[in-house]
Structure 1
Amino acid sequence: MSTAAIFSLSSPNLSYKPTLAFASRTLPSDQNHSKTLPVLTSYSNRLQLLKRNLSSASNLGFGFGRNLGFCVRAEKNGEGEVLDEVEEARKTSTMPDRFRYLTKEAPDPPVRWPWFVALSFLTYAWRAVLWELSNWKKLGFAILGFVGYLLKFALAVIYHFIGDPITYLIMTVETALYSIRAFYSTIVAYAPVPELTAVIMLSSIVLAIGEATVPHAASSQSLLITLSGLIGYATVRGLIIEPFFFTLLVGIFAFSRLVKKRDYVSSALPVAAALAAVGEPWVRVLAIGSYLALAIWHHWKKLSIGKQEVEDVATKRNLPLPLLGIALAIGVRLAAKWAGHRHLTWMIV
């Protein structure tokens, strides 16, 4: 019987068919106690023999657990094939249905300790990465500091040789910026709008007289008119004394008459415009009257000699820069005054 059981368990159909189904056998109730003992004894002997056969059959690939369950030692490529083979073995078994749940494998509890090992390694690796990054950061700051020291050394060497010209250049630029700022602040705060308006009107009268007598008298010498306007502004600000002011005006007239070979009206135009702009009231009247008389004499002289004027259509008219500057100063002053008034109004409201 043991040999048959061994060969039966080692067969491919994974089934064991005992000769007697002792698990489902019952004794008749009408038998006496003396007949029951031998039967139970034979059952126990057969059970021990079955256990020995099963233990010997476990060496062929089967093993029975504690609750008469079994596990199959099969090596397959996929997990699904192993489960299918186990299910087929359960279906072909002769075990009663009420005991088949005992053959199911209990799921293993999840193993968590490898995660702690991996976490420890990850923590160590992250600490190592942070330490390495800190070293790289220190190295980068050290390199930047060294480059900074090199740049300072190069600047010191350059300044040692050309330090004074650089210092003077910086001082000049700073002085120019502060002067422009002070000039703008003066225009915003103290620009005399009535006086500047009178300057524009009187200078425009002189320029109109010159242009009416000699075409392009103002457009052809815009640089001299600008220079005379700067000289007049310097005189008003007290930077130039009056004798030197008249000397410069005489020099401008001589340059235009002798060097540029212009007529008297064109040569006297910058001088008359400067005197009409910044002179005293009697000087303004004298300058405008004298220039008007000069223009009339020049026009009468040309008519007396029979020289006909050729009408020249002006294609390009350049506005004198001094008048443009005065107009801008008036506009800035009025805009600043309006903005300040509006600001105070908003604050009061």
Structure 2
Amino acid sequence: MTMAFFALSSSLSSSASSSLFCRNYRIPSIRSSSVSRVSYLNGGKLTLAPPQVLNAGATLRGFGVPGKFPSVRLGVSTRCEKEDAPNDGVKDEDEAERFARRESTMPDRFRYLTKEAPDSPIIWPWFVALGFLVYAWRAVLFELTNWRKAAFAIIGFLGDLSKFALALVFHFIGDPITSLIALLETAIYSLRAFYSGIVAYTPVRELTTVILLASSVLAIGEAVAPNSISKQPYVVTLAGLLGYAAVQSYISEPFFWTVLVGLYGYSRLVRKRDDVTAALPSAAVLAGVGEPWVRVVAIAGYLALAMYHNSTKTASEDEERQNLRKAPPMPLLAAALAIGVRLAAKWAGYRHLTWMIV
């Protein structure tokens, strides 16, 4: 037992002496294991394993007594450089280390302690700049105020100049302009009143009767003399306006009859048309807006005239082809439009009130 401890101490001393020649060495580690190689005494001396190439150490093996003492293994490992290494490798390593540390020998874990602390921000120059900004803004506002005053002065001057020009114009031709303005205003109010009257007071039944009777007379005329309406659209429209004016009492009855006779004479004598075509506008107006007995006389008389004209036609006369794609006469179209507006307004009012009630 004494010899075992002596061998252990000698191996430790030898490993420590060998580690002095190394730059870095590790603390010996003692490892115990239940299974190891068994050493034996050879002539009173303890036999040790030879040292390895890179690790120096000693191994203690227990006596070859099975079952009593566990074997203890002591291993010492160090990193040693070879003594015969060239000096150039050491210099290259030092230069690489110096380059990595950037001309500093301080370890990297302490390198953050050498950083310069940031200085506290300086605030007072901002106050100086703020003063200049305020001064500049006040100067800008002052200039903008001057520009605004100048712009308002120019606008006011232009307004005064336009007023002077308008006063000059009215001084010479003020009365005609005033009369024209009054005429336009009267026309606008008249149109509004006319439209309101159509929407509110259109006699649907009477207008329907007028359209039926006038259409019957026009159909008789077109059957006997084709294109008798398309030949004289303006005369038919004028006759319809005369009938409306007579119904609304805008013109007197004698004037109405006189104009109707004048229309017949113009078509018969000036335009050289036949009796059926010349009497068509007057007969249609009388059948539409006249008294009941006037309507009967007008329709019966025009029908007799058409029958007589048809009976006197010869076979040699060229038959004109009737054009059915022409638009209806403007008086009948206006009457139909008035009926439609009245019915649409009545329906819209009824639906609106129904929605309000529900």
Match of 1:268 among 271, 279, 290: 279
Unpaired runs of at least 5, structure 1: 1-86, 94-100
Q: CA offset at residue 245 of structure 1?
A: 0.8
* Further displaced range: 339-348 or 326-335: 339-348
* Further displaced range: 315-324 or 274-283: 315-324
Contact residue 210 and residue 295 of structure 1 kept, 8 A: yes
Is it true that 1:236 corresponds to 2:263 in the alignment?
no
Give the Cα separation in 2 of the matches to 1:338 and 1:109. 83
2:132 matched residue in structure 1: 121
Contact residue 227 and residue 322 of structure 2 kept, 8 A: no
What amino acid is aligned across from residue 125 of structure 1 in structure 2? A
Q: How many residues align?
A: 254
Is it true that 1:326 corresponds to 2:335 in the alignment?
yes
1:79 matched residue in structure 2: none
Q: CA offset at residue 318 of structure 1?
A: 3.3
Is it true that 1:295 corresponds to 2:310 in the alignment?
no
Name the SS of the counterpart of 2:231 in structure 1.
Answer: helix
What TM-score comes out, normalization by structure 2 length? 0.67
Unpaired runs of at least 5, structure 2: 1-101, 107-111
Name the SS of the counterpart of 2:313 in structure 1.
Answer: helix
1:75 matched residue in structure 2: none
Q: CA offset at residue 307 of structure 1?
A: 3.7
What amino acid is aligned across from residue 344 of structure 2 in structure 1? A
Give the Cα separation in 1 of the matches to 2:322 and 2:262. 31
Match of 2:217 among 199, 206, 213: 206
Q: CA offset at residue 315 of structure 1?
A: 6.8
1:256 matched residue in structure 2: 267
Q: Which has the larger radius of gyration?
A: 2
Is it true that 1:336 corresponds to 2:338 in the alignment?
no
Q: What percent identity do the matched residue pairs reach? A: 65
Matched ranges for 1:1-349 at <5 A:
91=104, 108-303=119-314, 306-314=315-323, 316-349=325-358
Q: 1:156-182: CA deviations, max 9, x gaps?
A: 111211211111111111111111111
Give the Cα separation in 2 of the matches to 1:115 and 1:151. 53
What amino acid is aligned across from residue 354 of structure 2 in structure 1? T
Q: CA offset at residue 107 of structure 1?
A: 5.5
Contact residue 272 and residue 287 of structure 1 kept, 8 A: yes
Give the Cα separation in 1 of the matches to 2:316 and 2:105. 142
What amino acid is aligned across from residue 345 of structure 1 in structure 2? T
* Further displaced range: 147-156 or 329-338: 147-156
Q: 1:212-263: CA deviations, max 9, x gaps?
A: 0111111101111111110010000011111111111011111111100111
What amino acid is aligned across from residue 303 of structure 2 in structure 1? L
**4+ runs of 1 displaced by more than 6 Å?**
101-106
What amino acid is aligned across from residue 289 of structure 2 in structure 1? V
Give the Cα separation in 2 of the matches to 1:111 and 1:283. 110
Contact residue 210 and residue 269 of structure 1 kept, 8 A: yes
1:49 matched residue in structure 2: none
What TM-score comes out, normalization by structure 1 length? 0.68
Q: 1:141-166: CA deviations, max 9, x gaps?
A: 11111111111111111121121111
Name the SS of the counterpart of 1:261 in structure 2.
Answer: coil
Q: CA offset at residue 120 of structure 1?
A: 0.9
Q: CA offset at residue 105 of structure 1?
A: 7.0
Of the two structures, which has the highest relative contact order with CA contacts closer than 8 Å and spacing of 6 or more? 1
Name the SS of the counterpart of 1:219 in structure 2.
Answer: coil
Q: CA offset at residue 133 of structure 1?
A: 1.1
Give the Cα separation in 2 of the matches to 1:307 and 1:106. 126
What amino acid is aligned across from residue 314 of structure 1 in structure 2? N
Give the Cα separation in 2 of the matches to 1:159 and 1:272. 51
Contact residue 267 and residue 273 of structure 2 kept, 8 A: yes
What amino acid is aligned across from residue 300 of structure 1 in structure 2? S
1:315–1:331 CA distance, 2 compared to 1 (3 A)? closer
1:106–1:180 CA distance, 2 compared to 1 (3 A)? closer
Contact residue 222 and residue 318 of structure 1 kept, 8 A: no
Q: CA offset at residue 324 of structure 1?
A: 0.4
Contact residue 226 and residue 322 of structure 2 kept, 8 A: no
Contact residue 226 and residue 321 of structure 2 kept, 8 A: yes
Contact residue 253 and residue 271 of structure 1 kept, 8 A: yes
Give the Cα separation in 1 of the matches to 2:320 and 2:113. 129
